[in-house]
Amino acid sequence: MKRFVIRRILGMILVLFAISIATFCIFNVIPNSDPAQRLAGRNPTKGQIEAIRRQWGFDKPVYVQYVKTMEKVFSGDLISYVSQIEVDKEILQDAPRTFSLAIGAAIMWMAFAVALGLYTAVRAGRFADRFLTALALIGISMPVFWIGALMSYYLGFKWNIFPNGGYVPLTEDPLQWAYHLIMPWTALSLLFIGVYSRILRSNVLDTINDDYVRTARAKGLSERQVLLRHVLRNSLIPIVTLWGLDFGAVVGGGALLTETVFDLQGVGQYAAESVAQLDVPPVLAIVMFGAFFVVVVNTVVDIVYATLDPRIRLT
């Protein structure tokens, strides 16, 4: 186990390094234009471009540029040349909003997906199963930014059921926090509920005829106990792994569309707004931190998974 953890963490460090190089290349090497000019955003002056070129070392070899870029990203003096705001500070300020969105949505989609997946599996082939499976497919096919915009218009603006936009910190008022986030949570969850419930349904259908389930029934356990204790537990393993990975992906950037549509002012929205203004430094930092977060979460999930299921360590 110890060896596995060490190997996994070393691997992670390598990937993080590769990510930093890849991000650097995406922004400063691949594009067919002057990087200093792109960093400066729209309508820069000649002096600004010159200053950026010197600061970022664009007149020096590529590896110097790379080191300088990383220095800037991690020391916190990366600034947006469009708004003159320090990028890292802005990201830290927006992070709680992104986490609030992701955590709530993750709980929501897991709860609904388990209920739905189990129910449709038990009712497989009947009307309820077909109906709910169809609903799940519709959920998968609906882009979050579209359904989110409609929800925010109808439920938030027109009928005034939920507050439209706005964010209340959890520490200030937990109830208001949840009340303000309920629409974004729902919009973000729909896709995942669709995907997860379908996987769970097929997993349950696979295990429900296993020998140990028959044994459990033969012991005289109630159907409810058989389902919850024996079938569900085993069917959940792959989903829980996926859950961890998807949570990482949502925080790392997947929540971007939801945040934008509901105007949550999270990290993702910061990236999206910067893109709209062709403001490169924030996008660079967010892409890198996002990918970092995803990789770290994946490693943690792997290690947790390996502690739960020793077979995995061999591969």
Partner 1 sequence: MAIEPASELASAVPEAIIAEGGRTRVAGLAPWRIALRRLRRNRVALAFGALFLVIVAMCLAAPIYASQIAHTDPFKNHLTDQITIDGVKRDVVAPSGVPIGPTYSGRFFLGADGNGRDIAVRLLYGGRTSLTIGIGAALMSTLLSIVAGTLAGFYRGRVDAVITQILNLIWSFPPVLLGIALGTALALGGLKIGPLELDGDSKLIPSIIIAIVTVPYTARPLRGQVLALREKEFVEAARAQGAGSLRIMFSEILPNLSSTLVVFFPLMVASAIGFEAALSFLGAGVRPPNPSWGTMIADGVERIITGPHLAIVPGVMLVLSLLGLNVFGDGVRDAFDPRAKVRVRRS
User: Of 305, 270, 301, nearest to 88 (Cα)?
Assistant: 270
Could you say whether residue 33 binds partner 1 (CB under 8 A)? yes
Asked whether 38 and 31 are in contact (CB, 8 A), the reply is yes
Query: Which parts of 154-183 interact with partner 1 (CB under 8 A)?
Result: 154, 157
Phi/psi-derived region of residue 305, left when phi > 0, alpha when psi is between -120 and 50, beta in every other case: alpha
Q: For residues 8 and 217, which CB has a smaller minimum distance to partner 1 in the complex?
A: 8
Classified as helix, coil or strand, 139 is helix
Residue 131 CB, nearest approach to partner 1 (Å): 13
Could you say whether residue 301 binds partner 1 (CB under 8 A)? no
- Angle separating helix axes 174-207 and 233-249, nearest 10 degrees: 130
Residue 262 CB, nearest approach to partner 1 (Å): 11
Q: Which amino acid is at 118?
A: L
The C-alpha atoms of residue 285 and residue 143 are separated, in whole angstroms, by 26
DSSP state of 59: T
The C-alpha atoms of residue 114 and residue 196 are separated, in whole angstroms, by 8
Could you say whether residue 212 binds partner 1 (CB under 8 A)? no
Three state DSSP letters for 191-209: HHHHHHHHHHHHHHHHHCC
Question: What dihedral angle (degrees, nearest 10) is formed by the CA atoms of 112, 118, 123, 125?
Answer: 90
Could you say whether residue 284 binds partner 1 (CB under 8 A)? yes
Q: For residues 146 and 212, which CB has a smaller minimum distance to partner 1 in the complex?
A: 146
Could you say whether residue 135 binds partner 1 (CB under 8 A)? no
Q: Give the interface size with partner 1 as a residue count (CB under 8 A).
A: 56
Binding mask 10-29 for partner 1 (x = CB under 8 A): -----x--xx--xx--xx--
Could you say whether residue 146 binds partner 1 (CB under 8 A)? yes
- Token reading at 296: 């770290």
The C-alpha atoms of residue 218 and residue 232 are separated, in whole angstroms, by 18
In Å, what is the CA distance from 37 to each residue of 40, 46, 307?
5, 9, 50
Near partner 1 by CB under 8 A: residue from 36, 38, 40, 104:
38
User: Of 129, 152, 260, nearest to 200 (Cα)?
Assistant: 129
Near partner 1 by CB under 8 A: residue from 1, 6, 9, 138:
138
The C-alpha atoms of residue 172 and residue 176 are separated, in whole angstroms, by 9
Q: For residues 50 and 263, which CB has a smaller minimum distance to partner 1 in the complex?
A: 263
Q: For residues 15 and 122, which CB has a smaller minimum distance to partner 1 in the complex?
A: 15
Near partner 1 by CB under 8 A: residue from 55, 153, 222, 228:
153
Near partner 1 by CB under 8 A: residue from 261, 264, 303, 306:
261
Residue 293 CB, nearest approach to partner 1 (Å): 9
Q: For residues 11 and 310, which CB has a smaller minimum distance to partner 1 in the complex?
A: 11
Near partner 1 by CB under 8 A: residue from 145, 177, 179, 305:
145
Could you say whether residue 142 binds partner 1 (CB under 8 A)? yes
The C-alpha atoms of residue 85 and residue 6 are separated, in whole angstroms, by 39
Near partner 1 by CB under 8 A: residue from 294, 301, 303, 306:
294
Question: Which residues contact partner 1 by CB under 8 A?
Answer: 15, 18-19, 22-23, 26-27, 30-34, 37-38, 137-138, 140-143, 145-147, 149-150, 153-154, 157, 191, 195, 199, 202, 249, 252-254, 256-257, 260-261, 268, 271-272, 275-276, 278, 280, 283-284, 286-287, 290-291, 294-295, 298
